Structure 1
């Protein structure tokens, strides 16, 4: 049993969510265990969410809405809760990303967050956030909902070939991540190019960056360092980085050749290989 603690609903989106969950559950005359039974989870999980010790997922929120007949209250709140779990310096960018009509990104080391599998994201985020890993992963996965909208933004990603070879989370995780990328290439508004090692020096040598374009608003350039992000709408920066991105696109492999390289790396580097005794290893 999770002991109740006082919650200040004005302290954070998570505290407001926790406060409302307890209030509406009690208003419905349900114990934590009874609500848990209805939405197929334990009463202790309900208690942890009500005490702000567990960040709710979108699936959890939708099931709570259905059980309590809230009209979608928690499904609307959970987006704010998950966004609040992102680093404070990253939250302004995440908000802009969600409003963009066109996202152009170059990634020099990792697969972009909007394209990551949950297992890959867990491996990446686990390096710095082992104590809050579930919340960090849930927040990253929730960002990807913009790609599933009825009218999603255009996303054009140029990935350095290094991102395909850097083994994040082990062979199985990387195999799943590259398979995921191949599955995305069929989406109408999503394009993935790979900048091969053979390109040599290029316009992205200073590191990863992203350009956001909006309907009726200035473009934004975004880059980040170890613990901070920088956004600017400076016209000269936008001009220079737009030209730089166009050069990266020109130097990257064409779309079909990029997909072929991803498939080849997945098979040769992360596929199954027979051992001497005839067994296979992943």
Structure 2
């Protein structure tokens, strides 16, 4: 699937910034089109984030808007370059939705991942058997593809410069029997072992914490490693995956995550709870 056909969060961010620059210049889309040697429909597509743009074309637009150099220009060009990049997930384009492919691209480039889960172990931390128990594909090949994608995602944690991953799990996640006692025992052991890694922070919110703001549902915050901050919140539901990209709304999720971190057990106490539940299972 061509990058141009993907609903890319990166290109949406580029579009928002281009719209801001146009409005600051006091131009209509028609006027901007004439100024930038483009049609007004092209300006509309770019600002909506539904049309990919080559870095050299973006560089020309930024120069025309008065940003021929500087950190803002570099951040924008990096978004354009990364937005067109193809990764390992393109091998599974036949089995993945455009939304999931975009998410995998963002996850791969994230320098920080903060996830709060109330129901299931996050995909990045699942064992193969736990993941298999969650999948209900229509065919053996679909099962194989789904498992390969899930496990390929996890190689991100084994790179020379892995992202900082903070996972806050409700205690219910650990007690829910997925795949049976043996599968859960292995999953709990994996979580305990992963929690020893320096770049991983796995915390448990115990039942004793009572009501808290995280009860509204799970979410994941991705902070991309670009020059200039790009932070996106992802939400999953039966309708699929959706993004929260508005800066004010993203900040609300960051605030909630900070509160959840403070109310969760410490890293050491969380590890002790994982070991206790594993030995009891």
> What TM-score bracket applies, with the shorter chain setting the length?
0.5 to 0.7
Q: CA deviation at 1:203?
A: 1.7
Deviations 1:207-241 (CA, angstroms, capped at 9, x unpaired): 11001112324111111111311112211111111
Distance of 1:244 and 1:89 partners within structure 2: 25
Give the SS at the match of 1:114.
Answer: helix
Which residues of 2 match residues 230-245 of structure 1 at below 5 A? 230-245=242-257
Give the counterpart of 1:105 among 111, 115, 122: 115
- Give the deviation of 1:88 after TM superposition: 3.6
Please say which of residues 137-146 and 216-225 is displaced more in the overlay. Answer: 216-225
Aligned to 2:135: 125
Q: 1:200 aligns with which of 193, 210, 231?
A: 210
Distance 1:259 1:87 in 2: 35
**Alignment partners' CA distance in 2, 1:84 and 1:146:** 22
What is the count of residue pairs matched by the alignment? 194
Match of 2:272 among 245, 260, 276: 260
Q: How far off its partner does 1:206 sit?
A: 1.3
CA distance in 2, matches of 1:154, 1:83: 27
Superposed CA offset, 1:155-201 (max 9, x none): 00001100000000001100010001111011111110001111111
TM (norm. structure 2) is: 0.65
Alignment of 1:150-165 (within 5 A): 150-165=160-175
- CA displacement, residues 96-122 of structure 1 (integer Å, 9 cap, x when unaligned): 111100000000000000000001000
Offset of residue 85 of structure 1: 3.0
Structure 1: give runs of 5+ residues left out of the alignment.
Answer: 1-9, 12-75, 271-282
Q: Secondary structure at the match of 1:187?
A: coil
C-alpha separation in 2, matches of 1:144 and 1:265: 24
Contact 1:82 1:138 in 2 (8 A): no
Cα distance in 1 for partners of 2:155, 2:180 equals: 26
For 1:86 and 1:161, locate their aligned partners in 2 and report how far apart those are by CA, in whole Å: 31
What's the offset of the Cα at 1:205?
Answer: 1.1
* Unmatched 5+ stretches in structure 2: 3-85
- Structure 1 residue ranges, 4+ long, deviating more than 6 angstroms after superposition: none
Instruction: Give the number of the structure with larger relative contact order, counting CA–CA contacts within 8 Å between residues 6 or more apart.
Output: 2
